[in-house]
Chains A and B, each alone.
Chain A
Amino acid sequence: MIRLIRNEFLKLHRRHFFLVSFVIVSLALSIYTGVYYFMADNRTDQDIVEQQLEKEKAYMAQIESIQWDTELEMQSAILSSQATIDRLQYMVDHKIAVWDWRSDVLSRYYTNQNIISLLNAGQDPKDYGFTDSSGSYDSKATWIQRLTNQCDVQMRMVEENDYMTYSQEQLGLLQTQYAQNYSNMSTLDQVLMDIEIESWKLYIQYQTPPRAVDQWKSVAIEELANEKEALARFQYDETYTENMTEEVKSRQYTWTKRRIRINEFALKNDTIPLSVYETMAANANTVTYSSYLLSLKNMMLVVMAVCVLLSATIMSREFTRGTIRQLLLSPYSRTTIAASKLITCLCVAAIFSVLTPVFGMIAGRLLFSNQTIGSSLSTGALPSYVSNLRNNIIEFPFHTYIFMNYALEALKIVVMIVITLMFSTITESASGPGLIMLVLSLAGAQIFQALYEYIYPAKALRYLLFGNLNLIQYIQGSWVAPYPSAITSIVVIFIVTLLALFVYFTNFRYKEISA
C-alpha cells in the first residue's frame, strides 16, 4: 500500500500538483492576510477625538456666515460649539476616548459652563425654564452658584476618574425616574428599565467603568443588557417576533438565553470570553491575532477546492488516459489500489489543512497583536471560548478552539473528497463530478439554506448532507437553516461518508475496464 501511495505522490509531483497547489494556497493566504491587514482601520481613539475636534473647529470658523433667525440663536450656537471644542480639547489633552463615560460628564460640564457664561452675559434664567424644587424661579446668582458647584463636582469626577460615583449617581437617577413613572409604564418598559438598573448595579458590583469598550467586563455587561432586552422583547413585544417563524423564534430565543448564561459565567468567573474580546476588537477597529486566525478559516475553502479537484482527477484520469489497465496489472488488489488513491487525497488534505493554520499563526503573530485593544488585555493573554453545551458551560482555551475550528473544516474536506472520488470513479470522468462537487463544497451550505428558506421549507431537508456539515455551529450555539440537531448532523455525515466509501470501493472492485 505504501508503495502505491509513493507512486501516487510521484505522479502528483511530476504533474507539478504540489507546486501549483502550494502556490495557489499560499497566494490565497497571502492575499487574504494582506487585505485583512490593510482593511483594518487602525485609527486610535485619540485620532478619532482629534478628527472630531478638527471638524468642530471648522464648523466654528464658518458659524457666522450661516443665516440665523436671531442674534441669540447665533450666539447660542457659537457658545455650544465652543463648549464642544473645549470638551474635545480637554479629551485630547487628557487622552479620553469618545466612548468614555467622562465624555458624557464633560459634555454636561461644558454645557453648564456655557450657561454660566450666558447668565453672566445678562441672560435670564427664566429663558431656560430654571426652577427650584417648588417650581418657583430662583435668582440668577443662586443659579450661577448652583451650576458652578455642579461643575466642580463634575470636573473632580473626571479628574479623579471616579466612575464609581458616576455609576452610583446614574443608578440613583434611574431608580428615581423608575419610582416616579412606574405606574404609567408598560410591562415591557418596566422590564427594560429593570434591565438598565441591573446594568448599573453590575458596573458598580464589578467596579468597572460604564460602557467602556476597552474594558471587557463593561462590554460583557453591555452585551448582557442587550441580550436581556432581546429576551424581554421576545416575551412582551409582539412586533419583535412577527416576522419570525416558530422555528427561528425558538432558535433565537435559545441562542439569546445561551448568550446570557455565557456572559454571566464570564463575569462571575473573571474569564474573558472570545466573543466579548472580538466585540472589543471590532469597537476599536483593530485586527487582532485571534480574529485573524478565526477568519483565516475561510481559506480552508481554497484547500477544499484543491482537494476536490484532486479527488475528481486522481482516479478518472487513469480511466481517460487508459493507464488504469497497467495499474490493475500490479500485484495489488483493486481495493488496495482504490484505498491508495483515497489515502493520497487525504494526505494532501492533511498537509494543506495543517499548513493553513500554521501560516495563520506565524503571519498573525508577526502582523497582528493581541495587545493593542485595551489596557485590561495588555497582558497579551488569549481569550478562551466559552460555550454553552446542553446547559453546561464549557471553557475552551483559545488554541483548542482554533484547533476545533480547523479540524471540523478538515472533516468537511474529508467528506467532500470521499464523495468526489466516488462520483468520478463511477462516471470515469473528472469534469462533471469535479465541477458539481466544487460548487457544492464552496456553496453547498448556502444553497441548501436558500432552498430551505425560500423554495422548499420541508423539514426533511435537514437530513441532507449540506445542511449538516457545519458542525462548529453546535459549539458556537448558532444555527443555520435547515436547523438540524448535532446528533442528526453527526449521524448524517457518518452515514453519507460510509455509503460513499462503500459505493466507491464496490464500484471500483467490480468495474470492468474496457478502455
Chain B
Amino acid sequence: MAENAVLQLDNVSRYHGSRMVIDHCSCDLYPGEIVGLVGPNGSGKSTLIKLILGLFHLSEGSIRIQNKDISEIFRKPGNRVGAILEDPTHYEYMSGLDHLMMTARLYPDVSLERIREVTDMTGLKSCIRNKVSSYTTGQKHMLALAQALLPKPKLLILDEPTNGLDPVGIRELREILKKLAQEGVCIMVSSHILSEMDMLCSRIIIMKNGRFIADLSSHELLDPNRVRVRIRVGQPEQAVEILESLFDDISIRQENDELVITGENLQVPQMNRTLIFNEIDVYEIAINREPLEEYFLELMQEDKS
C-alpha cells in the first residue's frame, strides 16, 4: 500500500533549539484522500507543512513525496506539489494573469489552455487581467489555488485555506477540492474550523504538542456506535447518578445543566423514559451532529486530565 502513497512521513521530528516542536510524526497519504490536519494553536500544524514543503529543515526522520525524498523533489522540474500557505501573498502590482503566466513558464508542459482551465475552475475569469491589489481576499485565495493547480499537482497542501473567506468562498473552495480529490489528487488541509473539516475531509489527523494523537477516517468519526447525546435537564447531578447506575458502558460529562453522554449503542429513548420516571425535568435531547468537534474536545480534555 505504501508504494502508492503520495506523501510519506516517517518519524518526522523538528527541534527549535532544545524544544521538540514536531515529535516523531509518521503517516502515509494516498491519492484521492482529503486529509485534515487538526490541532490547537501551537500544535505544530504549520511547522509540519513547512517541513513537507522544504521551507524548514528536518531534524530527524524523512519525508517522501511520490517515493522521492523532498531534498530532491523541490529541485526537479518533475515537482508536482501545489501549496497554498496561510494568507497567500502575491505581487500586488501584477495582474492575476501575470502570476499564472509566471508559474506556467516554470513548467514546460503547462499550456495556455491549462491557464484558461484553472481560471474557469477558480472563477477568476472576470478579474484575471486586473491587478492583484484590487482583488478581494477570496479572489486572492482563488488565485493562489489557481497557481497551485496549474502544473496538475499530485499533492496539494493547504494551510488554513479558509482564513478570511466568506461562506460562499468556503463552499466554492470545498467543491473544487472535492472535485480534485475525485480526480485522484491527494489533498492535505490544515484548519481551525472543525465543522468545515468534518464536511470536507475523508481523513482527520489530530495534532497536539507536535505529535499525531489521532488518525481517523471519516467513517470512524461517523460510526453510529459512537454517538454523543446531549440532554438538558432540570436536576443534572441527580440525572448523572440515575443514568450511571442504570446504564453500563457509558461516559457522562456534566456541563452546567447539560449532560454529554458518549458510549456504544446508546439507548436514548430508554434514558429519556428513565429520567422522566425519576421525575427529572428533561428540556432537550440532542444527538450530536458535530462528532469531530466533540471528539476533538474530548481528546484535548483527556490529554489535560
Contact = CB atoms under 8 A, between A and B. Distances in A.
Interface in B54-96: 54-57, 74-79, 81-83, 85, 87-94
A332 B76 CA distance: 6
Interface of B: 50, 53-57, 74-79, 81-83, 85, 87-94, 98, 101-103, 105-107, 144, 147, 151
Given A4-B106, A7-B102, A323 B91 contact: yes
25 contacts: A7-B106, A10-B94, A11-B91, A11-B102, A14-B91, A14-B93, A14-B98, A321-B92, A325-B85, A326-B144, A326-B147, A328-B55, A329-B53, A329-B79, A329-B83, A331-B75, A331-B78, A332-B75, A332-B106, A333-B74, A512-B55, A512-B57, A513-B56, A514-B50, A514-B56
B70 to A, nearest CB: 12
A318 B143 CA distance: 18
Contact of B93 (A3, A15, A322, A510): A15
Given A7-B106, A331-B75, A323 B90 contact: yes
A323 B107 CA distance: 18
Contacts of B102: 7, 10-11
A325 B91 CA distance: 12
A6 interface: yes
B94 A11 contact: yes
Contacts of B105: 3, 6-7
A293 B281 CA distance: 101
Interface of B is mostly: loop
Contact of A331 (B56, B74, B94): B74
Given A6-B105, A7-B106, A10-B102, A331 B79 contact: yes
A331 B151 CA distance: 10
Interface of A: 3-4, 6-7, 10-11, 14-15, 321-323, 325-326, 328-333, 336, 510, 512-514
Nearest to A328: B55
Given A329-B82, A331-B75, 20 more contacts: A3-B106, A7-B102, A11-B91, A11-B94, A14-B94, A323-B89, A323-B90, A325-B53, A326-B89, A326-B144, A328-B53, A328-B54, A328-B74, A331-B77, A331-B106, A331-B107, A510-B57, A512-B57, A514-B50, A514-B55
Contacts of B92: 321
A14 B90 CA distance: 13
A384 B144 CA distance: 60
A440 B34 CA distance: 54
Most buried by B among A321, A325, A326: A326
Give the interface centre of B56, B76, B91, B92 by most chain A CB atoms within 10 Å.
B91
Contacts of A3: 105-106
B296 to A, nearest CB: 27
A331 B76 contact: yes
A331 B79 CA distance: 5
Contacts of A321: 89, 91-92
A325 B56 CA distance: 11
Nearest to B106: A330
Contacts of A512: 55-57
B74 A329 contact: yes
A233 B90 CA distance: 70
A10 B102 CA distance: 8
A323 B55 CA distance: 13
A10 B104 CA distance: 13
Contacts of A328: 53-55, 74
Contact of B98 (A10, A329, A514): A10
Nearest to B151: A331
Nearest to A515: B89
Tell which of A14, A15, A322, A331 has the most Cβ of chain B within 10 Å: A331
Contacts of B56: 512-514
Nearest to A321: B89
A11 B90 CA distance: 11
Nearest to B159: A325
Nearest to A15: B93
Nearest to A336: B75
Nearest to B99: A326
A510 B54 CA distance: 10
Nearest to A4: B106
Contacts of B75: 331-333, 336
Contacts of B85: 325
Contacts of A330: 79, 103, 106
Nearest to A8: B102
Contacts of A326: 88-89, 144, 147
